[in-house]
């Protein structure tokens, strides 16, 4: 996201309302299925992917934590303008390449400083932790923003289930490593873009804040692969890079974990990554943001991305220009 020159903004003509987009997608899926005439291996794969890409959740309730004043970013923008370096560094690559990712079966291990470690199958996570719709502002460190109706459940509830010990001061989360399905993980001419797996961490009290969720879908559907299927982190008061995708491991730790972008460029990206209009990135201002999908949509950035009432107390007494 940082190493590579930014692509020009999206033309408004490219933005399609969700119903048109979904119908087009359904048409393409049906056509593809008819064209191959029921070849068994292909259909099995297609069905497996279709589970994650397009299946609706039943009876979702809207969370009181939703930012109801904000206009939603279109489904097409949310699912076609992505950062997911495992599928390439271009914003358009994840939507093109992530269909290769097999998201069933999917295991997630919880380990480290807890009394009840567990190796989960994703289906059991979905049964154990009922999800709701959470509309959140989503602010990337590159100074663009969206508003996304996530489907998710409280990260705090998930963590408490595993009974963290008093030594659990942080959590570390890892993304899957599977270069045969994630083309961005294959080393190129100049080596690997990042040091895989993609890693992120939170202080335990941040992770327990009611705003932090594990998201398993968006727009009422199971998570599209390019957005981090089948399960990813969403912490709306932090820059988007904290939102680690396609998680396979959660570990309770005593020491503060290193995160991928901090390791990559420690003078530019810190551990906390709280959205803060008063602390600029060394190479650009963070005072305002471009609203994706709006032609003239530049708006001022809000402290903690507008969630100060809920999270500012987590950082009282800390110098946020040092702990950026
Ligand atoms: N997770 C992994 N595994 N790999 C990535 O490259 N990019 C991060 C974050 N999570 C990234 C990731 C960045 S920089 C952002 S801004 C958000 O994902 C983007 O999420 P979105 O594509 O759903 O908007």
Residue 184 contacts residue 93 (beta carbons within 8 Å): yes
Q: What's the pLDDT score for residue 52?
A: 54
pTM of the model as a whole: 0.86
Q: Best mutation site among 241, 268, 275 for ligand 1, i.e. most ligand atoms within 8 A of its Cβ?
A: 241
Atom of ligand 1 nearest to the CA of 138: 24
Residue 11 domain-assigned (yes or no): no
Residue 72 dihedral angles phi and psi, to the nearest 5°: -65, 145
270 in a domain, yes or no? yes
User: How many angstroms does the Cα of residue 261 sit away from the middle of ligand 1?
Assistant: 11
What are the phi and psi torsion angles at 251 (to 5°)?
-130, 130
Choose the residue to mutate in 73, 79, 83, 183 for probing ligand 1, maximizing ligand atoms within 8 Å of C-beta: 83
Residue 32: predicted pLDDT = 35
The CA-CA-CA angle for residues 288, 264, 93, to 5°, reads 70
pLDDT score at 197:
98
- Name all residues whose Cβ lies below 6 A of ligand 1: 1, 82-86, 140, 175, 198, 227, 240-241, 243-246
Which residue has the CA at smallest separation from atom 24 of ligand 1?
A: 82
Contacts of 186 (CB under 8 A, 6+ apart): 179
Q: Is residue 319 one of the residues assigned to a domain?
A: no
Q: Measured from the CA of 198, which atom of ligand 1 is nearest?
A: 3
Give yes or no for a contact between 176 and 185, defined as CB atoms under 8 angstroms apart: no
- Count up the domains in the chain and report the number: 1
- For ligand 1, what atom is nearest to the CA of residue 1? 14
Is residue 279 one of the residues assigned to a domain? yes
131 in any annotated domain:
yes
Residue 18 lies in a domain: no
pLDDT in tens, 271-324: 999 999 999 999 999 999 999 999 887 999 999 999 999 999 999 999 999 999
CATH number at residue 256: 3.90.420.10
In a domain, 206, yes or no: yes
Instruction: Give, using CA atoms, the residue closest to atom 16 of ligand 1.
Output: 240
**C-alpha closest to that of 91 among 178, 181, 1, 18:** 1
Residue-level pLDDT at 51: 53
Ligand 1 atom 10: residue of nearest CA: 244
Residue nearest to atom 4 of ligand 1 (CA): 84
Nearest 5 degrees, angle CA 281-CA 202-CA 64?
A: 95
Q: Which of 2, 146, 245 to mutate to test the pocket of ligand 1 (most atoms within 8 A of CB)?
A: 245
- The verdict on residue 26 lying in a domain is no
Domain interval for residue 88: 41-311
How close is the Cα of 239 to the center of ligand 1, in Å? 10
Asked if 77 and 146 touch (Cβ cutoff 8 Å), the reply is yes
Q: In which residue ranges of the chain is pLDDT below 50?
A: 3-48, 50
CB atoms near residue 21 (< 10 Å): 16
- Say what the pLDDT of residue 323 is: 95
Q: Ligand 1: which of 84, 239, 292 to mutate, judged by most atoms within 8 Å of the beta carbon?
A: 84
- Return d(Cα 80, Cα 74) in angstroms, integer: 10
Strands (E), 140-230: 144-154, 170-175, 199-203, 213-218, 221-222
Q: Whose Cα sits closest to atom 12 in ligand 1?
A: 244
Axis crossing angle, helix 40-52 with helix 18-35, rounded to the nearest 10: 160
């Amino acid at each position: 996201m940082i190493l590579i020159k930014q692509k020009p903004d999206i033309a408004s003509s490219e933005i399609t309302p969700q119903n048109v987009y979904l119908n087009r997608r359904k048409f393409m899926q049906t056509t593809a299925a008819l064209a191959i005439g029921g070849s068994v291996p292909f259909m099995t794969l297609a069905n497996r992917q279709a589970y994650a890409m397009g299946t609706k959740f039943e009876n979702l309730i809207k969370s009181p934590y939703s930012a109801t004043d904000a206009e939603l970013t279109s489904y097409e923008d949310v699912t076609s303008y992505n950062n997911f370096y495992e599928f390439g560094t271009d914003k358009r690559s994840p939507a093109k390449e992530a269909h290769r990712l097999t998201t069933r079966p999917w295991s997630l291990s919880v380990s480290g400083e807890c009394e009840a470690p567990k190796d989960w199958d994703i289906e059991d996570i979905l049964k154990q932790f009922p999800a709701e719709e959470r509309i959140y502002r989503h602010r990337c460190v590159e100074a663009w923003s969206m508003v996304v109706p996530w489907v998710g459940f409280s990260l705090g509830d998930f963590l408490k289930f595993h009974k963290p010990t008093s030594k659990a001061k942080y959590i570390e989360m890892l993304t899957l490593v599977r270069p045969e399905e994630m083309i961005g993980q294959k080393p190129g001419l100049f080596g690997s873009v990042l040091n895989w797996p993609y890693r992120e961490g939170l202080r335990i009290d941040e992770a327990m804040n009611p705003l932090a969720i594990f998201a398993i879908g968006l727009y009422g559907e199971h998570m599209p692969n390019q957005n981090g299927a089948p399960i990813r982190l969403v912490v709306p008061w932090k820059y988007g890079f904290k939102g680690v995708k396609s998680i396979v491991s959660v570990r309770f730790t005593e020491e503060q974990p290193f995160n991928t972008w901090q390791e990559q460029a420690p003078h530019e990206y810190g551990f906390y990554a709280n959205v803060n209009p008063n602390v600029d990135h060394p190479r650009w201002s963070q005072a305002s943001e471009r609203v994706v999908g709006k032609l003239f949509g530049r708006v001022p950035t809000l402290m903690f991305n507008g969630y100060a009432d809920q999270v500012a107390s987590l950082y009282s007494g800390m110098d946020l220009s040092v702990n950026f």
